[in-house]
Each structure stands twice: as structure tokens, then as C-alpha cells.
Structure 1
Amino acid sequence: MIIRNVIKRNSYYDSVNLMLLSSKLSPIPGVDKAAVMMGTDMNKSLMEESGLLMEEGRQATANDMIIAVSARDEEAIARVFEEVDNFIKNKDEKTGSLQEEAAHNLESALSMLPGANLAVISVPGQYAKYEAQKALRNGCHVFLFSDNVGLEEEIELKDFAIEKGLLMMGPDCGTAIINNRAIGFANVVPPGDIGLIAAAGTGLQEVTCLLSQNGFGISQALGTGGRDLKEPVNGRMMLQGFRALAADDNTKVIVLISKPPAQEIAEKVISEAEKVDKPVVICFLGQKIQTECSGVFIVDTLEEAAKKAMALEEKEGVQTGNALDTADIESIARTEIEKMSPEQKYLRGNFSGGTLCYEALLVCQEELGGIYSNSPLDPSLKLPDSSKSISHTCVDLGEDEFTRGRPHPMIEPALRKERILQEANDPETAVLLLDVVLGYGCHHDPAGVLSPSIIEAKEAAAAKGRYLSVVVSVCGTQLDPQNREDQIEKLEKAGAIVMASNAQAARLAALIAKKSREGRCCYEQN
């Protein structure tokens, strides 16, 4: 293999654009691996680990863009650099007509948009605090996409924002919808009366999409960053966002979403919720918390959060997206199990959304007991090797161990193909459980990429006398660039069963996997 590095000096592009670009390079014929990253120490370390970093790349600074490729011949390498050049040219052309008006710093941006009160910041982590502070000083709420920001810096920024009466969403905040505008990885949803605050990006996407699918809209959807409800950040921004929604005349129902916070932080949030005169739905996924307040509703899953919010909105049609009752789901499971061979008994989940994986673990353990994972509910069920499933397994392929030097699977779903085929070739696999996430920032046609892999997986199982069940949920809306109905149609043509929500898909997959002796006897008795 030939390895080549090219450095573009003082050429900054945010990580999402570079991940999208990187996702276009690896499929080029003859390319083994390719990555385009800014030259931060962490990114250079990732390239070093993947065998892509050369001496030229080691000399790059955080302001430089590194193009690294491993390919079998010079022709493939030339095609990679041509693709990168086209990307840069297209970016320049899109902004070319605005060059004279382009803002190169916050001050010039505010002089051009004097009424602006929100700054979206995506810069290398070491500069994030400075830029965020500057925005806050100028009276702007902040959506901070940047990661690699220190914990003390996060606390300092959030305290400063609270002092100024502003929102400090992040760091590492990936999703928000402000005044009906999607920011980061978010979906196109209608305006409405339900306001949300989340420390979980795909959790926020799932609930807003379930609301949208049933004709309900949102007032605001605020992200906090994933560490907000952990110590020592102590829910600073969830509480600040909650106070903002409580005072917002356009918000009638408030929904709070997170993976389980520390008990003390959960109690603090509930205490604040009990003080307002608006109904509050709290989904701290699976955490067992209680309240005596009649206006605060504790739910276990994202699906339940959406259902409860819709019911509180006092509109008709509160069923969650063609929701099936238990009998319907059991009927589908029975039909799938009848096609399988006796040795097939395990569920294998393959997720791009971390919060969706977590919700699936909660739902599946009700039927199957403990589920192995790289991010398990019980630390004793952590996979020794995340690349290999054990018994019932759900894997979050968006975790750092899978994305170092590679695009996130929401951006490049083709990265999931290898794991799908691996599970299909295991004679004990009964059912594959997958999520598909749509919206801005995500791949333009994830179902189009995954469908051939699903077909290949089912054919591989059939060739060995087995039937492989594939259950999928699609987190998105009809208004998203990818169009949810079009995505569902492609998946169903590939032989997948598409359920209306992630929780519903997990429920069905768990029932299918429950085809051990206990499960078979249960069905035989029925």
C-alpha cells in the first residue's frame, strides 16, 4: 500500500464537514483507508494509530487540514485528492458571492447582524472557551459543537451564561431546534407547544420525531451537552433551560431527557419541576425516581415521553406512530420464529445513536435479562472485545472506539456493513436490531446504503439453512431531506420489518430472540 499525506495550511473546516468528506473517500476503488482532519494533537494521534500519519502530517498544526490516504496505487490516491479539491472548490463557490460580506470573527458578524442573539461555535477545543466567552459577553446564547473542552472550562462557561441570563448549550452539543431552526444533527419538525431539554442528542431527535409523526410540534428543543447532568456540572444548563421554557408563553408542556444522572442531581431537577404550573415529563432513561407532584410525570423510555407529552397536550390521536399493541407484536414475533432453525436464539443490536442503544437495552432486558454491550446498563455486562458479540448484545457503533479516525455511522452508514454480516454469519443469531437516523448532518440516504447489506445478510443466512429476522426503526420525519417514508420503503423492500419507534423495534426484536426453550414453550401453549 502507498501512504500519502498532504497538508492544506491555514484551512479550517469543522469536524462534521470533514467527516462527510472522509466518508466519500474510502469507497473510492483502490483506497484502503482515508481521513481528512484538522491537525490537532488528538487527530494526529488517531491517524498515527490507524497507520495513516506520515512525517508531513506530524508537522501540521491545529489550523492545518491533513489529507491522509492509504491506497494500492497512485491512480487511487489521485482520485482522493481530486475529490478533496472538488470539496474545497464547492465550498468556496458557495461562499464566493458572499466573500465581501463574510464575517471573519464574532465582532464583524454582530456588526452585520446586529439583532443576532445565538452563536453556533465549532472550533478546536483549545479555542472553544475563548470564543464562547466572547459570544456570551456580547449577549449571545451559545450552541457549542466543539468537544475536547475541559470540565472546569465547561462549568466556568455555564456559570457565566447563567449570570448573564443566557443559554450555554454544550460543549459537545450535537442537537437543538431553536425557533423552528434545526441546529447540528436535528430533524425538520413543525412548530408547536411542547418544549424539550436534553443531555442526549439522539434521544432529543427520537422524541421530537415521534411528536412530529403524530401531528404535534415543538416550541424549542434545547441541548445541554452530554456531561451536564453529571457531577460536578450538576445540571446547570438543564435547569437554566428549564427556567427559560417555564417562562415561555409558547410552551405548554416541558419534556426533560437524559441518560440516568446522579441521584442528587435527579432530585434537584425534580424539585425545580414541582415548582412550575406547567406539566413536566421527565425521562431519565430507566432511572427509578419518584415524585408526589401531580404535574410531574416520570417515564422510562423515549417512546413513553412522547406519548405522555402528546396526552398532556390534550389533542386527539396520541398513539405513537402506528403503535402496535402487545398481541400484534407477539403475532409478528411468532411468524418470524416459525421460519428459524433451532440453534438461532440471540438478539444482536447494531446502533448509530447512543441514546437509542441505551433505550433498546432497557426495553430488551425486560424480556431477555442482561444484555452485553460496549455501553451496558450493568458494568459486569461490558463486552471484553467490542468487536465480538456475546449472547444477546447491543453495540453502540458511535462510541469513540469505533469512530477514531473514521466518520460517525450516522454520517457514513456503510461502516456498519461489516458488523451486520458478522452477526448474520453467526449460526446463533436470530434477529438483527438496527436504527436509522435521519435529519441534517446525517447521510443523505442511509437506507439506500444499509439495504444491500441487509439483503446480503439475509441471503448469507439462507444459504446455510437459516432465516435471519431484521428489525429496524427510523428516527426522522417526512420533512427531513431523506424523507422518512422513502427510507422505510427501501428497508422493507430489503426484507426488514420497520417499526414506528426505537422502543417498539426493541420490543419486537426481544420477543423474537426469546426463542429459547422458555419462549418456544410459551408460544406452543398459546
Structure 2
Amino acid sequence: MLHYKIYPNLYKDSVSLMQISARLNGLEGIIQASVAMATEANLERMRDAGMAITATAKPSDLLIALLADEDVGTLALTVADELLRPAPVDQEQGIVGKRPATSLAMGKERAGDANLALISVPGRYAAAEALKALQLGMNVMLFSDNVSEEQEHAIKQFAGQRDLLVMGPDCGTAIVNGMPLGFANVVRQGAIGLIAASGTGLQEVSCRIHHLGEGVSQALGTGGRDLHAEIGGQTMLQGIRMLAADPATRLIVLISKPPADIVSEQVLKLARTCGKPVVVHFLGADPSTLAKHGVLPASSLQHAADVAVAALRGESLPAAVTVDDANLASTTAQLAKMAAGQRDIRGIFAGGTFCYEAQLALLAEGLTCESNAPVKGASALKESARGHGHSLVDMGDDEFTQGRPHPMIDPSLRNARLLQEAADPATAILLFDVVIGYGASLDPTAELLQILAKARQQADLAGRQLLFIGHVCGTELDPQSREQQIAALRQAGVMVASSNVQAAQLAARLALQLK
């Protein structure tokens, strides 16, 4: 039965709502739970998910809806009350009864030296709030999505006129002055500045830099559309100027999916003339073409970090990343145990850029593949519910996250998809990512290990052998600890690669042998 509760005029940011939703969905007996601001769009998504809410609610109200039996539903709403209860006030600090800040202006008045506003409100209100922050002299990280390109262009133009930066909209990751924001990892501070139109791309490169012993000065997200012709790369251009003037930044790294040609020319021209070495990785772009613009080209996310660290240290620049021969040798023997007809890679990703990069790795090996977010040369997914042939799925895409938490927060839908693909007699290799850090699930492998064990058991009963290949994006300083996650995965028989591209390259080489 349907249970729901309306909390009048209660606002919580998107990450908080997704985390509460994940907690409720994790309760035994919950069929589905949704936690969102009561905008018309969110109400419509809940109705589409089978939660026919008829009560009247305002966009400023918080709404919790769930499907469960009576006792479980009542318990879940009680749990929700606890999760939404304000933190106790510290009486020793003398702020009992102090009115909470209810506007950007009030917040700025209380913290006069604040120069960054993180905005996470429903998309229809986000542009107006961003403009308010800019008028108060603050840079903006716009976590919100569903902001039109016209509004994005106008906001960024307004910011540029005031020498301010707008990260976003739909900017999920940043590290500013050592502070991780959104979905970000704990990395050491250092001399490499990052600007990325990709959240998980930014995470992968910043973590790799940390693993290599260097650090990050600033990691700025631009939002995924910044390098579209309609936006003109305004945030990336402004970010280059800011990092070029930053004495703590000695080298700059730019990351993006393929930009519009006219924007690419502008970005590369500024990169060449900014006065500092710049490493550029445009996923799928020809590195030799980028080199002609006077920048340091990189061919993958891992390679971008490797080149940046080598250039910073004055060392010889490394060659492009290739398949790890040791991993290839140790896994090849398992192919002989596979049944006739097992030949497909099924990739299930929480990170959209990881899905994108994996497709490029397969295409580079001459393999065809399909995806719900296909790169140039790949095919569109034939069925959203299952894969065909080599199939790589971005579970963070809107079609899977409407009314549900992102798979980095709640990986249950991703895990269910892994089990489903494992049951296909054609599946030979399951390829996946585990993204940790702030905002992500605090125990991302707990359910995953059970799913992998079940998949292996079902395959054994059917006379098949499955090969699991994964990679963990994060650091040992993250709340979930990368080393602990890797150890748990390896104990479960997963081949854990050092990066996303190496995981995909390994899967591709093995698939070629099966073919």
C-alpha cells in the first residue's frame, strides 16, 4: 500500500534527499521509496512509479512516498522523521534560538568573507538563486540540473562580467581550497589544477594524481554542457584564467567529452597562451591533433594524470596506457572454463564518463558495442532492460535515476542489473566501477559482493564461468577507504584494475580471445 508524508516548507538539498531515499529503500519490506521536493515534475515521476499521490503539496514542501505493507510503511515514516530532525543546537556556543539563515543574503551577512555558494534547489528556481549569489559577489557551484541552456548562458555571461565563476549547472564534483564538494574524493593538496566537464572524470584524474604522490590545487567542474556551442566554454575559459593567475597552481589539466569545434579552438588557444603547461584530454579526440595546439595531449583519464605528474616533475612523458599484461596473463586461463556461446562483455557503470571511456576502449580494439549513452561508433542500446552483444550501460542516466537516488548513493539498481546481465548465457565478462568518496554509499560493496556470489553460483549450476573485472575510483583517505574496497573485491574473485581504462582494455582483450 502507499504511504506518504508531507513536510510543509522544509527544504533539503538533492544529495541529502538521495541519501535519505537510499536509507529508506534499504529497509527490509520497502518495495520503493522516493524522497523529493513536491514539485509538479517530482509528483509526476512518483505517479509514474506507481505511487498515485492525490494530496495537495507545494513545491516548497518536502514529500516522502513509499510502497510497503502497513507496519513497514509506518516504521519507514518514523525513520524518515528521525533522519529529517534538525541537529541539536550546541548551547555552549551561545546560538540557542538563533534564527537559521533562510536566504543567500542572510547567509552572506553572517559570513561576510564567504565567496562561494553551493546551490542545490529544483531546476526551475536554480537560475534565480545563482544570480542572487553572483550579485552578492559569490562564485557559484550549481549542483542543480534541469536548467535551460539559455539560462546557463545568461548566468555564466553575468558571472564573467564580474570576474566570478559558475560551476554547473549539473556540476556534481569540485574541490575548492582542499574542500571536497558534492561527489568528490579526499586527495592531498598540491600544484595541479583541474577543470573538467565531467564529474567522474574529475574524480578519476584527481585520485590518480594522489596515488602518484602529487596533489591538487583546485578541481573545478564546469557542468556537462559548458563546451557546447550554445554555452561557449565560458566556465572552462574562466577557470583557465583563474588557475593561470593562481600562484599555487603550476600545471593545469583540462577534461571533457568532445567539445564543439568552435569552443575547442577557443579553449586550446587560451591553454596555449596562459603561461603554464596544460594537459588536455578530450575523450575520443586524436592526441596528435591536440599536440598541434601546443598543449600536452592525453589519451585517457589515467594518462591525463600520468602526463600531468610527469610534466610537473620534469620527467619524460609516459606513453599511452595499454592493457596490464600481468592482469591479462592471470585471467586468460579462466577463458578455457567458459561454455560455448559465452563471448559478451556486459558493463554496468555508476559513472557516466567511465561508461563513455570504456566504449572508446572497446572500439579501439575493433569490437562493436552498444550503450544507452553511445559514443561515436557505438550503437544505441536495443532494449533498455537488457544488453545485446558487448553492452555498456550508464546507470546514472536520467532514465534510471528519475525518482531514485543516483547509483553512487544507492547501488541497488546497478547491482540488480549486474545480476540480470550475468544470467544471460552469452555473458562472459561483467565489467563495473565502484565510486567512493563524499556523497557516495558508505558501504558500496556490501550488497555487490552478495550479488556477485549469487551470479557465480547461478553460472556454476548452468555450467558457465563468469569473469568479474572492476575498478575502484577513490583514495585511501576517503570514508570508505579504497584499499578496503579493493581487498573485499579481490577476496570475492574480482580482477581489480588500477583504472577504468585498464579495466575496459583488459575486458576487450579477453573478449577478442573468446571471439
- Name the counterpart of 1:301: 300
1:512 matched to 2:510? The reply is: yes
Counterparts of 1:375 and 1:124, CA distance in 2: 24
Partner of 1:503: 501
Contact in 2 for aligned 1:437/1:476 (Cα 8 Å): yes
Residue 281 of structure 1, aligned match among 256, 279, 282: 279
Query: Residue 78 in 1 paired to residue 74 in 2?
Result: yes
Are the equivalent residues in 2 in contact too, given 1:452–1:494 (CA < 8 A)? no
Q: d(CA) in 2 for partners of 1:488 and 1:101?
A: 45
**Quick one: distance in 2 between partners of 1:60 and 1:254?**
47
What one-letter code is carried by the residue in structure 2 that aligns with 1:207?
Answer: V
- Distance change in 2, residues 1:28/1:111 (3 Å): same
Spell out the pairing of 1:128-147 with structure 2 (5 A cutoff): 128-147=126-145
What is aligned with 1:260?
A: 258
Query: Is contact 1:214-1:319 (8 Å) kept?
Result: no
The match for 2:47 is 48
Contact 1:211 1:217 in 2 (8 A): yes
TM-superposed CA distance for 1:317, in Å, is 11
Quote the sequence identity (%). Answer: 45
Q: Structure 2: how far apart are the matches of 1:417 and 1:292?
A: 40
Q: Match for 1:488 among 486, 489, 496?
A: 486
1:345 pairs, out of 343, 368, 374, with 343
- Return the match for 2:60 from 63, 68, 91: 63
Q: 1:315 deviation in Å?
A: 6.5
Q: Could you tell me how far apart the structure 2 residues matched to 1:396 and 1:51 are?
A: 24
Q: Which amino acid aligns with 1:86?
A: E
* Residues 241 and 274, structure 2, Cα contact 8 Å, conserved in 1: no
In structure 2, how many angstroms separate the alpha carbons of the residues matched to 1:316 and 1:496? 34
Q: Is the 8 A contact 2:363 2:377 kept in 1?
A: no
Change in Cα spacing, 1:48 to 1:325, as seen in structure 2 (3 Å) is: closer
Q: Distance in 1 between matches of 2:264 and 2:6?
A: 47
Conserved in 2, the CA contact under 8 Å of 1:194 and 1:255? yes
For residue 345 of structure 2, give the secondary structure of its aligned residue in structure 1. Answer: strand
Contact in 2 for aligned 1:120/1:145 (Cα 8 Å): yes
Quick one: structure 1 residues 449 and 46, their matched pair in 2 at CA, closer, same or farther if it must change by over 3 Å? same
Secondary structure at the aligned position of 1:441 is classed as coil
Alpha-carbon deviation of 1:484?
A: 0.5
1:339-398, Cα deviation, whole Å (9 max, x unpaired): 322321010000000011101111122224221000011376101322110100100000
What's the counterpart of residue 10 of structure 1? 9
Q: Any stretches of 5+ residues in structure 1 without a counterpart? A: 518-526
Shift in Å, 1:319: 8.1
* Secondary structure of 2:225 counterpart: coil
Q: Which residue type is aligned with residue 81 of structure 1?
A: L
Within the candidate set 180, 183, 197, 2:181 is matched to 183
2:280·2:290 contact (CA, 8 Å) conserved in 1? no
User: Which moves more between the two structures, 240-249 or 337-346?
Assistant: 337-346
1:32 is matched with 31
The residue that corresponds to 1:93 in the other structure is 88
User: Following the alignment from structure 1 to structure 2, what is the Cα–Cα distance between the partners of residues 95 and 172?
Assistant: 34
CA drift at 1:324: 7.9
SS at match of 2:313: coil
The residue type paired with residue 93 of structure 1 is P
Partner-residue secondary structure (3-state), 1:274: helix
Over 3 Å counting, the alpha-carbon distance change for 1:55 and 1:438 in structure 2 is: same
SS at match of 1:159: helix
Q: 1:439 to 1:100 in 2, by over 3 A?
A: same
The more displaced of 371-380 and 310-319 is 310-319
Aligned pairs for 1:162-311 (under 5 A) are 162-288=160-286, 290-291=289-290, 295-311=294-310
| 1:328 corresponds to | 326
User: Contact 2:300–2:501 (CA<8 Å) still a contact in 1?
Assistant: yes
Return the TM-score normalized by structure 1: 0.93
Give the counterpart letter for 1:312 in structure 2: A
CA contact under 8 A between 2:22 and 2:410: conserved in structure 1? yes
Aligned to 2:445: 447
The one-letter code sitting in structure 1 at the alignment partner of 2:121 is V
Instruction: Quote the offset at 1:327 in angstroms.
Output: 3.0
Mapped contact 2:335–2:514 kept (Cα < 8 A):
no
Q: Distance in 2 between the 1:419 and 1:325 partners? A: 26
Letter in 2 for 1:32: I
Cα distance in 2, alignment partners of residues 403 and 277 from structure 1? 42
Count of aligned residue pairs for this structure pair: 510
| CA contact 1:455–1:495 (8 Å) conserved in 2 | no
Give TM-score, length-normalised by structure 2: 0.95
Q: Report the secondary structure of 1:344's partner residue.
A: coil
Please list the CA deviations of residues 61-107 of structure 1 after superposition, one character each: whole Å capped at 9, or x if unmatched. 11011111111x21011111011011012x34378975616322222
> What do the CA deviations read for 1:162-213 (whole angstroms, capped 9, x no partner)?
0000101111111100011101110000011110001100000000001111
| TM-fit CA distance, 1:300 | 2.4
Equivalent AA in structure 2 for residue 35 of structure 1: S
Of 378-387 and 457-466, deviating more is 378-387
Are 2:369 and 2:378, in contact at CA under 8 Å, matched by a contact in 1? Answer: no
Maintained 8 Å contact 2:116/2:141: yes
> Is the 2:280–2:298 Cα contact (8 Å) retained in structure 1?
yes
| 8 Å CA contact retained: 2:31, 2:67 | yes
